[in-house]
Chain A
């Protein structure tokens, strides 16, 4: 059974810092991996989707990498801003009719 772990569970950093969120998964047979943002009491906002054949994806200040063979992904946030404060979720997809398997998330606070 696929398990997704996110480290750290919580992170608080001053504004302007670059930071890295980590995600690991136990079964490397995935089709893609996705990073989401969730604000308190809200739904999910998709940030980046990486197909299994890709190594990384970039969107603005965000960069996500994928090392499928080792079962790891990182989300890099450059020049963090208070508006980046949220919970960041990592999810993997095996393929076919499956749903996503989520990690518990990293609760990020950017101090202004």
Chain B
């Protein structure tokens, strides 16, 4: 149980284009999802918290107009990187909390999406 998927697993795009990454909870409903970014040899850094039906909360230094987050249903959150540039190339990982087990605060992680901007 508690499986989170991400799509695509890898994406290469040209500078200036936008890319959408999907995060799905497959066997549970998630009112809260998180988006993290990991640069090479660095730790995962929280970018934003996505709440179903409301606006996302962004961490300091993360541009909300550049990284658009939509959490339209209890099983899907999307991250859109708008006008991507090479410095946005990174490994993006989402996680989700099971609404039936909110008390545990455990987060279930997706497999990640490798974004390369050329």
Contacts and interface: CB of A to CB of B under 8 A. Distances in A.
Contacts of B46: 99-101
Contacts of A49: 106
Nearest to A90: B43
Contacts of B110: 43
A44 B43 contact: no
A32 B6 CA distance: 25
Given A43-B110, A43-B112, A97-B32, A103 B105 contact: no
A104 B43 contact: yes
A60 interface: no
A89 B44 contact: yes
A46 interface: yes
Nearest to A97: B49
A17 B34 CA distance: 36
A102 B42 CA distance: 10
Interface residues of B, number: 26
Contacts of B49: 97-99
Contacts of B45: 102
Interface string B41-64: 111111001010000010100000
B76 interface: no
B69 interface: no
A15 B110 CA distance: 30
Contacts of B114: 41
Interface string B84-118: 00000001010100000000011111111010000
Given A43-B110, A43-B112, A97 B43 contact: no
Contacts of A41: 91, 114
A46 B44 contact: no
B43 A89 contact: yes
6 contacts: A4-B43, A41-B91, A43-B6, A97-B32, A99-B107, A104-B43
Q: Which 10 A-B pairs have the closest CB atoms?
A: A99-B46, A43-B111, A102-B43, A44-B109, A43-B112, A104-B43, A102-B44, A99-B34, A43-B109, A103-B43
Interface of A: 4, 31-32, 34, 36, 41-44, 46, 49, 89, 91, 93, 95, 97-105
